Amino acid sequence: MAVMKRAGAFVGGLLVGNSAPHLATAVTGRTHLTPLAGKESSAVVNLIWGLSNALGGLALTRACTRSGERRWDGSLIAFEAGVATFATWMAASEAALRVNTVGGVMAKDDSAEFP
């Protein structure tokens, strides 16, 4: 049972980690790849996808870690590992494939901040 709790918390962390770039895209009004509308997904689609991932990840984590205890057990580490795994994968894949950047390189207005 402990393995299932940890696995659920890890997957919950993956989903919560996935929500961050979509919610940031929604706030900034940009496009970002989603499975709902493809590469040119609008800010509204990203808001829906980001909220779905966040709420689903949090609900899964709660369901898998509910034990009556007020303090976390090792499931917190599994949740954080899920978030970190997704962030690492996203950073590496975006650096290599540049799926969500204009023309495969950074936008001109971002070049002053990020060399």
Is the pLDDT confidence value at 93 over 80? yes
What pTM was estimated for this model as a whole? 0.84
What tens digit of pLDDT does each residue of 28-72 get?
999 999 999 998 999 999 999 999 999 999 999 999 988 788 888
Joined together, the tokens standing for residue 81 give 């590992």
Q: What is the pLDDT, as a whole number, of residue 103?
A: 64
Above pLDDT 90, what percent of the chain? Answer: 69
Classify residue 68 by burial, with Cβ atoms within 10 Å: 0-12, 13-18, 19+: exposed
- Per-residue pLDDT averaged across 92-111, rounded? 70
Is the pLDDT confidence value at 110 over 90? no
